[in-house]
C-alpha cells in the first residue's frame, strides 16, 4: 500500500511479461519504511472525485485548491449588448469558467475579480469607459516618466 507524498520514493507499473505489477524504488527503502507515490498537484475536489480522499498540508490547506466557477452575462441586463460587445468582442459565448483558488494573489483570481466587476456593473458604461481610459493613460504616462527618470 502506498501513501501519497511529493516527492515520491518509488513508482509502480504493470508488466505483461511478469503478469503483474512491478514496484521500483528510487532509493533503498528500509523494512517498515513507508512507500510514497504521488498523485501530482491537484485540487481537493479532483482528489476526492478521482481517489476518494483530500490532500491537506501541515497547515490544513492544499495550495492547489481550486473550484470551477462559471460566471456569465445576464441577458436581461439593460447593458447586455454593450457588455457583450466590449468585454467579449461580440463572441456568442457569454459564460466564462474560472478555476478560482484560495490564493487571492494568483493571476486567475485577478482575472476572475476583474470579470465579476464588469458582469455585475450596473452604472453608466460610458462613464466607466471614460474613467478606465483616463486612468490607463495616466498610468502609462507615469510609467513613461519613471522609465525616463531611470535612464538618466
pTM, full prediction: 0.43
How many CA atoms lie less than 13 Å away from 151 in the CB half-sphere?
6
Is pLDDT of 89 > 80? Answer: no
Task: Break the chain into its structural domains and give their ranges.
Answer: 3-38, 66-150
Rounded (5°) CA angle 135-136-137: 90
Distance CA 35, CA 9 (A): 7
What pLDDT does 24 receive? 92
Distance CA 95, CA 75 (A): 11
**Average pLDDT score over residue span 62-66:** 74
Decide: 14 and 6 in contact? Cβ < 8 Å. no
What pLDDT does 126 receive? 79
Residue 122 pLDDT grade (very low, low, confident, very high; cuts 50, 70, 90): confident
Distance CA 125, CA 122 (A): 8
**Average pLDDT score over residue span 61-89:** 77
User: Nine-digit cell at 108?
Assistant: 486567475
What pLDDT does 151 receive? 60
Per-residue pLDDT tens over the stretch 30-47 = 998 899 888 877 878 788
User: Nine-digit cell at 5?
Assistant: 507524498
Amino acid at each position: 500500500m502506498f501513501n501519497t507524498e511529493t516527492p515520491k520514493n518509488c513508482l509502480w507499473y504493470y508488466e505483461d511479461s511478469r503478469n503483474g505489477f512491478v514496484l521500483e524504488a528510487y532509493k533503498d527503502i528500509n523494512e517498515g519504511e513507508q512507500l510514497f507515490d504521488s498523485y501530482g498537484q491537484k485540487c481537493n475536489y479532483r482528489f476526492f472525485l478521482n481517489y476518494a480522499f483530500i490532500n491537506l498540508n501541515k497547515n490544513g490547506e492544499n495550495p492547489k485548491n481550486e473550484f470551477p466557477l462559471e460566471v456569465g452575462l445576464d441577458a436581461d441586463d439593460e447593458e447586455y449588448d454593450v457588455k457583450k460587445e466590449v468585454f467579449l468582442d461580440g463572441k456568442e459565448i457569454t459564460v466564462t469558467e474560472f478555476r478560482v483558488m484560495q490564493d487571492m494573489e494568483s493571476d486567475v483570481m485577478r482575472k476572475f475579480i476583474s470579470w465579476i466587476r464588469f458582469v455585475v456593473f450596473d452604472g453608466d458604461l460610458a462613464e466607466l469607459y471614460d474613467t478606465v481610459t483616463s486612468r490607463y493613460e495616466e498610468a502609462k504616462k507615469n510609467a513613461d516618466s519613471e522609465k525616463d527618470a531611470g535612464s538618466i
